[in-house]
Amino acid sequence: MRVEEIEERTIYGITTRTKNLDEMNPQTAKIGSIWQKFDETVDVDYKGGERVYGVYYNYESDANGKFDVLAGYETS
């Protein structure tokens, strides 16, 4: 994993709220399904410079708490 500090950007996409325990169970996991929905509904223009981002934010507490996930893209 590479951590990189970047300038502020506006990212458009699909979000969900989840927690690590839920992601370990296929019946309650949400992250995979938002990426699938993103792939099916968003036509990303990679050649035109659009980039895809996975953003994790709004952490409730520690590794056991809930957090938000965004599967999104930034237009150039």
pLDDT for 76 equals 63
How far is CA 54 from its chain centroid?
3
Put simply, whether the predicted model's pTM sits higher than 0.85 gets the answer: no
27, β-bridge pairs: none
- Collapsed DSSP state (helix, strand, coil) of residue 55: strand
CATH of 12-74, one of 3.10.129.10, 3.40.50.300, 3.20.80.10, 1.10.3980.10: 3.20.80.10
Tens digit of pLDDT for each residue in 20-64? Answer: 999 999 999 999 999 999 999 998 888 888 889 999 999 999 999
- 6 vs 54, residue with greater confidence: 54
How far is it, in rounded angstroms, from Cα 13 to Cα 25?
24
For the chain, which residues make up each domain, given as ranges?
12-74
Buried-exposed string 16-35: b where 16+ CB fall within 10 A, e elsewhere: eebbeeeeeeeeeeeeeebb
pLDDT for 45 equals 86
